[in-house]
Chains A and B, each alone.
Chain A
Amino acid sequence: MIRSLSAVLVLALASAPLALHAATLTGNPEAGRAKIYTCHGCHGIPGYENAYPNYHVPRIAGQNEQYLINALHEYQSGDRTHPTMAAQADSLSDQDIADIAAYLSSFGNK
């Protein structure tokens, strides 16, 4: 009992700084502007559709910041399964994701 409690405590303590770190990253919209170059190929073309499955690549400029951050992390973790987006998200650091989200969400304020 005590052993399992201490295991939980150790896990909680170990993961707390990580969670805190991710939450306190500040996105830089200008840096994000340079980092969306690869996004542009699919998300930059009005009416662009995937070859398969056949639906439009979503509009992401003007989207809410935390949603974009969460979505990219979900592609990294496998909670979202789109193969192209998983590959793209894997190449991004937490700071890249914060910067991209800061830039894209800025269009929602205009």
Chain B
Amino acid sequence: MQQRFLTISLFMLAAVFASSAASASGDADAGKQKVQAVCAACHGLDGNATADGQYPRLAGQYEDYIVQALHEYKDGERKNAIMVGMAAPLTDEDINNVAAYFSSQPGKLSDLHGKVQGGD
């Protein structure tokens, strides 16, 4: 019983550390400079590009999801010929900044709440 309590405590402690790493907040102004130089051509300066539907909208996307995705491209967990090259030179700070900027832009993205047939 005591051991179980210890295990649960350790797990919660790990969760706290994990969430602090994920929520490291970037500098949106610095992110905008980087976006202008690197991302805007395909994603739009405000993250709302729609000219070519293969490129995702990023405006209003969750900040920590953008961070996650960029690290996955960098680490090779996501394989995309274009994004591998784009993500490779970004530092952790660049990634946090870019994510802070895109997530703060107004856009059309939303969750599925209220959009499911027969659901709410």
A and B interact: yes
Q: Within residues 11 to 70 of chain A, which ones have a CB less than 8 A from any CB in chain B?
A: 33-34, 36-37, 39-40, 43-46, 48, 52-67, 70
Q: Within residues 14 to 51 of chain B, which ones have a CB less than 8 A from any CB in chain A?
A: 15, 18-19, 22, 50
Q: Which residues of A contact B68 (CB under 8 A)?
A: 53, 55
- Closest B residue, CB atoms, query A109: B108
Distance (Å) between the CB of B108 and the closest chain A CB? 4
Known: A43-B111, A58-B61, A59-B111. A53 touches B22 (CB 8 A): yes
Complexed CA–CA distance, A46 and B60 (Å): 13
Bits for B67-105, please: 1 = Cβ < 8 Å to A, else 0. Answer: 110001000011110000000000000000000000000
Main secondary structure of the interface of B (DSSP, over half): loop
**B interface, how many residues as a size bin?**
35 or more
Main secondary structure of the interface of A (DSSP, over half): loop
**Does the CB pair B109–A59 fall under 8 Å?**
yes
Q: Within residues 47 to 68 of chain B, which ones have a CB less than 8 A from any CB in chain A?
A: 50, 52-57, 60-62, 64-65, 67-68
Sample 24 A-B pairs with CB under 8 A, ordered by A number. A36-B112, A37-B119, A39-B112, A43-B111, A43-B112, A44-B119, A55-B22, A55-B67, A57-B62, A59-B109, A59-B110, A61-B115, A62-B110, A64-B55, A64-B56, A66-B53, A67-B54, A67-B55, A74-B80, A79-B80, A80-B77, A80-B78, A108-B57, A110-B108
